[in-house]
């Protein structure tokens, strides 16, 4: 048998091999840790990207939902406003109806009491309308009422004036801050406007317009107006109530 020489490899070979093995294992472990770190970073990046996409999707869905809710809300408000307008608008003449008149009278009456200002109330009635309606038919009668309503609304142009169809062939208007003299002038103006409308003969008589009035501090509103009674007819085709 030969004899191995004495040197570092023969004396410390086992330790050197173990050290080299540990070094290689350390490199392998470091590489594995590096690979795992990179995989973790890629996974985190993917998660962040997915999270960002999810957040963007949720935000977009939220915006779309808010927009739809806003559109539905606006549509509902428009429908409610339309229903409210329909509930206070006379379907035939397209002016205020009795319900709106009652609410307007209550509001203006309270305001007149608070401010100690006059409030004029006039009730107008179309004479011989039933006979006119029977002779010429309901379509002609409806057209007549619409024309009268349009004329009243056009004549009472102040923002504080209010006109409504009280019922049947009766109309009513309110004029806040208007004394008795001013109310009479406005009533005469309405009569003059009515006189310009085209009139059809009806058994040698024409449809007449009666204008009721109650101005100044009107007491109990329409009840006070009714309490004024009827005056005797005067010549012509209009008379006061």
pLDDT in tens, 153-171: 898 878 888 999 998 999 9
Taking the C-alpha atoms of residue 44 and residue 23, their distance in angstroms, rounded to an integer, is 31
User: 168: buried, middle or exposed (CB in 10 Å: 19+, 13-18, 0-12)?
Assistant: exposed
How do the domains of the chain map onto residue ranges?
1-87, 98-240
Sheet holding 119-127, edge to edge: 161-167, 170-176, 119-127, 208-211, 238-240
pTM above 0.85, yes or no: no
Note the pLDDT tens digit of each residue in 21-72. Answer: 888 888 888 888 888 888 888 988 999 999 999 999 999 999 999 999 999 9
> What is the pLDDT, as a whole number, of residue 198?
58
> What is the pLDDT, as a whole number, of residue 26?
85
> Mean pLDDT by 10-residue block, N- to C-terminus, for the chain (241 residues)?
60 71 85 88 90 91 93 92 86 92 94 93 88 90 92 84 92 90 87 73 43 38 35 40 42
> What is the pLDDT, as a whole number, of residue 164?
94
Q: Catalytic residue numbers? A: 169
> What is the pLDDT, as a whole number, of residue 25?
86
CATH class entry, domain 98-240:
alpha beta
> What is the pLDDT, as a whole number, of residue 10?
61
Cβ atoms of 212 and 241 within 8 Å: the answer is: yes
Q: Report the run of H or E that residue 238 belongs to, with start and end.
A: strand 238-240
Pick from 163, 218, 219, 227: which is nearest to 190 by CA?
Answer: 163
> What is the pLDDT, as a whole number, of residue 62?
92
Pick from 113, 143, 115: which is nearest to 129 by CA?
Answer: 143
Pairing relationship of beta strands 208-211 and 161-167 according to DSSP bridges? unpaired
Q: Which long-range contacts (CB under 8 A, 24 or more apart) does 38-43 make?
A: none
> What is the pLDDT, as a whole number, of residue 7?
63
Strand partners, 172: 123, 164
- Please tell me the number of Cα atoms within 13 Å of 159 on its side-chain side: 0
User: 120: buried, middle or exposed (CB in 10 Å: 19+, 13-18, 0-12)?
Assistant: buried
> What is the pLDDT, as a whole number, of residue 12?
63
Strand partners, 240: 211
> What is the pLDDT, as a whole number, of residue 216?
36
Task: Determine phi and psi for 61, rounding to 5 degrees.
Answer: -65, -40
> What is the pLDDT, as a whole number, of residue 126?
86
Quickly list DSSP for 53-85. HHHHHHHHHHHHHHHHHHHHHHHHHHHHHHHHH
């Amino acid at each position: 048998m030969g004899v191995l020489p004495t040197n570092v490899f023969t004396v410390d070979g086992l330790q050197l091999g173990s050290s080299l093995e540990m070094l290689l294992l350390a490199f392998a472990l470091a590489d594995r840790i590096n690979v795992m770190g990179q995989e973790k970073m890629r996974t985190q990046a993917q998660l962040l990207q997915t999270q960002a996409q999810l957040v963007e999707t949720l935000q977009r869905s939220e915006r779309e939902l808010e927009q739809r809710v806003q559109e539905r809300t606006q549509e509902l408000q428009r429908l409610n406003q339309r229903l409210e307008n329909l509930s206070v608008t006379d379907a035939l003449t397209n002016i205020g109806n009795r319900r709106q008149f009652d609410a307007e009278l209550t509001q203006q009456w309270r305001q007149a009491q608070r401010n100690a200002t006059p409030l004029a109330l006039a009730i107008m009635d179309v004479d011989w309308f039933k006979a006119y309606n029977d002779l010429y038919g309901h379509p002609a009668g409806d057209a007549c009422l619409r024309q009268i309503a349009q004329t009243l609304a056009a004549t009472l142009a102040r923002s504080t004036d209010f006109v409504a169809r009280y019922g049947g062939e009766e109309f009513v208007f309110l004029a806040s801050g208007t004394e008795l003299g001013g109310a009479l002038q406005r009533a005469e103006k309405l009569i003059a406007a009515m006189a310009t409308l085209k009139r059809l003969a009806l058994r040698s008589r024409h449809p007449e317009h009666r204008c009721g009035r109650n101005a100044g501090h009107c007491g109990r509103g329409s009840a006070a107006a009714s309490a004024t009674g009827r005056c005797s007819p005067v010549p012509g085709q209009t008379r006061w109530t």
